[in-house]
């Protein structure tokens, strides 16, 4: 979202700087123009655009790059720092007991977001509850109830009541056992006095620790006015930008953040309760600028690992990192990969692989990989415990037996054994790596 387009256009402009030993004023002008064009296209407030481009220009021309840094890397660094600065830190969100009030216009994604936040907190080990106070929209009660079920969290609502304030009061009492109480409120097509009065009353009754404004990424400049209104009425502590999966814009959300002097807490990236990401400006901008996004990837890996582990309590990924890497580990890894989502999305987050490289692969290349994974699973079903624990015992005759048992070719089995060896080698490398090596490797990948 927001600066999607900026990422790719900036990358190609920056690529023109490759091999140059000095940057001219014209080079900087080109880069700044590119940034302005993308930001304006993304609905970013013109004043913000001017501020950002001015400071990039000034720094690129005045500051001396540290020795050994190429002009391209130096400008990239400046753009990165300025963008991170513009987006600000993520909204602080301590993992403790709290009440969160969600505000926003009708259709912005509030109710869905209530489910998502609840799910997010439950994954962090807290017990959330959703309280639905929207009495205007007929489907709101059922929708929130279903989302609470999906997120496996407590729920309170009253389809027969018509006083949102009372529901909030009652709901907070009824779900008092929960650690995080998330109060969803009604929206309207546009801000009107009735909505403002209502949310003010709910705010007074619920006395939340945090008021979050939910904004659709596709919303243009009118987001600013909306944010201002909510800010004056209840005060906004954090913004949640939804539907970032569906738009390349998002400038309105930036204006909202600026207007309320707050920060972005979460990004909504789809329609299920799991489609939520904690917003981190540094990783967001890294991803944007094609530096990959290892933090997000790490979080997804961890989550996928946790889910896999719940199903198989005997399996501990720590063992794998410490010592032996068996075929069982490989299988768990494959399962975890599947849970992380489509392979191309995952690849996009890895430095050096991102930036549309996956798009250049023929479509069926991806299928082959997935088909291979499925074959590997079938093959492993035909292997003995001993073979899974210690794949080195699999020689020619065992390969023949496994091929017969699984109905897969002997070549496929050899591929699996190869794959295992390769992963084992990679893991060994990681194990022997210090922080400095890691850093060097990351740098190489970003070239």
Instruction: Return residues touching ligand GDP (CB under 6 A).
Output: 104, 106-112, 187, 242-243, 245-246, 268-271, 275
Nearer to ligand GDP, 111 or 286 (CB): 111
Nearer to ligand GDP, 53 or 269 (CB): 269
Distance CA 326, CA 392 (A): 10
Nearer to ligand GDP, 187 or 251 (CB): 187
Nearest-approach distance from CB 1 to ligand GDP, in angstroms: 10
Residue number with the smallest Cβ distance to ligand GDP: 268
Is residue 270 a known part of a binding site? Answer: no
Is residue 50 a known part of a binding site? Answer: no
Nearest-approach distance from CB 211 to ligand GDP, in angstroms: 15
Nearest-approach distance from CB 196 to ligand GDP, in angstroms: 16
Is residue 187 a known part of a binding site? Answer: yes
Nearer to ligand GDP, 71 or 208 (CB): 208
Nearer to ligand GDP, 119 or 376 (CB): 119
Taking alpha carbons only, the member of 180, 184, 200, 202 closest to residue 192 is 200
Nearer to ligand GDP, 99 or 143 (CB): 143
Q: What are phi and psi of 236, to 5 degrees?
A: -110, 130
Nearest-approach distance from CB 203 to ligand GDP, in angstroms: 17
Nearest-approach distance from CB 373 to ligand GDP, in angstroms: 27
Is residue 148 a known part of a binding site? Answer: no
Nearest-approach distance from CB 118 to ligand GDP, in angstroms: 13
Is residue 354 a known part of a binding site? Answer: no
Is residue 99 a known part of a binding site? Answer: no
Q: How many other C-beta atoms lie within 10 A of the C-beta of residue 297?
A: 20
Extract long-range pairs of 297-304: CB within 8 Å, 24+ residues apart: 297/346, 297/349, 297/350, 300/340, 300/341, 300/346, 301/336, 301/340, 303/123, 303/339, 304/336, 304/337, 304/339, 304/340
Is residue 109 a known part of a binding site? Answer: yes
Per-residue exposure over 17-53, b if at least 16 CB sit within 10 Å of its own CB, e if not: beeeeebeeebbeebbebbbebbeebbbbeebbeebb
Point out the annotated binding site for GTP. 104-111, 184-188, 242-245
Point out the annotated binding site. 104-111, 184-188, 242-245
């Amino acid at each position: 979202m927001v600066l999607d387009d900026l990422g790719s256009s900036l990358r190609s402009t920056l690529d023109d700087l490759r091999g140059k030993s000095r940057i001219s004023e014209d080079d900087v002008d080109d880069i700044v123009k590119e940034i302005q064009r993308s930001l304006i296209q993304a609905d970013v407030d013109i004043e913000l655009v001017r501020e950002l481009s001015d400071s990039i220009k000034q720094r690129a021309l005045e500051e001396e790059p540290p020795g050994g840094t190429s002009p391209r890397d130096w400008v990239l660094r400046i753009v990165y720092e300025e963008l991170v600065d513009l987006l600000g830190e993520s909204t602080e969100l301590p993992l403790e007991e709290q009440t969160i009030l969600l505000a926003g216009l009708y259709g912005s994604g509030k109710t869905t977001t209530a489910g998502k936040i609840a799910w997010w907190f439950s994954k962090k080990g807290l017990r959330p509850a959703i309280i639905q106070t929207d009495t205007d929209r007929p489907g709101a009660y059922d929708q929130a109830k279903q989302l609470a079920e999906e997120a496996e969290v407590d729920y309170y609502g009253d389809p027969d009541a018509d006083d949102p304030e009372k529901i909030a009061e009652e709901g907070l009492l009824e779900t008092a056992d929960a650690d995080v109480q998330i109060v969803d409120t009604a929206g309207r097509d546009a801000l009107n006095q009735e909505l403002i009065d209502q949310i003010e009353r709910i705010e007074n009754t619920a006395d939340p620790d945090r008021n979050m404004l939910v904004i659709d990424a596709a919303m243009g400049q009118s987001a600013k006015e909306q944010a201002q209104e909510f800010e004056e009425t209840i005060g906004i502590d954090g913004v949640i930008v939804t539907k970032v999966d569906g738009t390349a814009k998002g400038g309105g959300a930036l204006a909202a953040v600026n207007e309320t002097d707050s920060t972005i807490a979460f990004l909504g990236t789809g329609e299920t309760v799991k489609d939520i990401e904690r917003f981190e400006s540094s990783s967001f901008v890294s991803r944007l600028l094609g530096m990959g996004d290892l933090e997000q990837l790490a979080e997804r890996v961890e989550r996928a690992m946790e889910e896999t582990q719940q199903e198989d309590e005997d399996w501990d990924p720590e063992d794998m990192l410490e010592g032996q890497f068996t075929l069982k580990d490989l299988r768990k890894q494959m399962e975890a990969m599947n849970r992380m989502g489509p392979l191309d999305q995952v690849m996009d987050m890895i430095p050096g692989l991102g930036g549309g490289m996956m798009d250049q692969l023929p479509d069926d290349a991806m299928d082959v990989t997935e088909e291979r994974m499925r074959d590997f699973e079938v093959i492993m079903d035909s292997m003995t415990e001993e073979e899974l624990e210690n794949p080195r015992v699999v020689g020619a005759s065992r390969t023949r037996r496994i091929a017969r048992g699984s109905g897969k070719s002997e070549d496929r089995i050899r591929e699996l054994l190869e794959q295992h060896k390769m992963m084992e080698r990679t893991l060994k490398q990681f194990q022997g790596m210090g922080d400095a090596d890691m850093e060097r490797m990351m740098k190489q990948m970003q070239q």
